[in-house]
């Protein structure tokens, strides 16, 4: 079995170790005998979204978001169709903002977003920086997961607000999340996940990596469950981080 995993704009959207998410997905495929086919695509390069199983968009600064917006817009219709068809997408910070309606920078200027997610973002007066612990909403993870928490690191000035039709991934136990005000972090729409958590996210949260992989194989009709891996070290690391951060909070 093969899974097609794409890092879109790897040269522009790759902050704070975001590429580690691709490495984690690839490793967790290989450990199970699934062949990960990694594709990178940047400005001007073709990409067949429908042929992808998982799409990854990392974080980037306002400058990089401005550089890629036109290229992203020309891909909008195809990406939207693939998402409606169940494409699994992980988008972090700047990438998350670009899937929403717009990102308004500190000076007032707006960077257009694809509007696939019913969210919008405005730069706040202070940057939201630090470690984050999120308690995922019931129903985000499949029943078998050992943890209901995500750990990660955020660094953004954007404050993201969710429209009535979408829900956050969960509630912030430590840190700021979407906007520092309403206690929510991230969003889910169909198989699209948006979050502010860098870190990188997936090595720190292997249960979340497996959720993405499971959704991808389910969409392709290749099964419903992944073979379990020995995640004892990853789980110890996750637990240690959650406990440390909760104690400090």
DSSP letter at 108?
S
Using the contact rule CB under 6 A, the part of the chain among 37-45, 68-76, 131-139, 152-160 near ligand GLN is 152-160
**Catalytically annotated residue among 6, 7, 156, 198:** 198
Question: Using CB atoms within 10 A of its CB, is residue 42 exposed (0-12), middle (13-18) or buried (19+)?
Answer: middle
Identify the three-state secondary structure at position 160. Answer: strand
Nearest distance in Å: CB 15, ligand GLN: 5
Nearest distance in Å: CB 61, ligand GLN: 5
Verify binding: residue 15, ligand GLN, rule CB under 6 A: yes
| The length of the chain, given as a count of residues | 249
When the beta carbons of 99 and 215 are compared against ligand GLN, the nearer one is 99
CA distance 142 to 202: 16
**Catalytically annotated residue among 93, 156, 207, 238:** 93
Verify binding: residue 184, ligand GLN, rule CB under 6 A: no
How distant, in Å, are the alpha carbons of 66, 67, 91, 193 from that of 60?
Answer: 10, 10, 11, 17
Residue nearest to ligand GLN (CB): 59
How distant, in Å, are the alpha carbons of 2, 114, 115, 193 from that of 162?
Answer: 35, 15, 12, 13
Using the contact rule CB under 6 A, the part of the chain among 43-51, 59-67, 226-234, 239-247 near ligand GLN is 59-67
**Interacting residues with ligand GLN (CB under 6 A):** 15, 59-62, 65, 93-94, 155-158
């Amino acid at each position: 079995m093969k899974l097609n995993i794409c890092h879109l704009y790897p040269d522009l959207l790759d902050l704070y170790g975001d590429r580690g998410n691709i490495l984690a997905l690839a490793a967790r495929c290989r450990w199970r005998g699934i062949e990960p086919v990694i594709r990178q695509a940047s400005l001007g390069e073709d990409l067949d979204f429908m042929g992808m199983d998982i799409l990854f968009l990392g974080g980037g600064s306002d400058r990089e978001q401005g550089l890629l917006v036109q290229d992203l817009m020309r891909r909008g219709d195809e990406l939207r169709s693939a998402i409606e068809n169940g494409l699994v997408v992980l988008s972090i910070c700047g990438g998350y903002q670009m899937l929403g309606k717009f990102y308004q920078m500190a000076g007032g200027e707006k960077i257009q977003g694809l509007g696939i997610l019913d969210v919008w973002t405005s730069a706040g007066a202070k940057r939201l920086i630090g470690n984050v612990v999120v308690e995922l909403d019931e129903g985000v993870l499949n029943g078998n997961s050992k943890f209901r928490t995500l750990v990660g690191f955020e660094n953004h000035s954007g404050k993201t607000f969710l429209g009535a039709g979408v829900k956050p991934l969960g509630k912030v136990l430590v840190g700021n999340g979407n906007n520092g005000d309403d206690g929510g972090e991230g969003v889910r729409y169909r198989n699209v996940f948006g979050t502010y958590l860098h870190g990188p996210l997936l090595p720190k949260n292997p249960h979340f990596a497996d959720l993405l992989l499971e959704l991808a194989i389910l969409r392709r009709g290749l099964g419903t469950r992944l073979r379990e891996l020995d995640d004892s070290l990853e789980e110890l690391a996750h637990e240690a981080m959650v406990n440390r951060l909760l104690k400090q909070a």
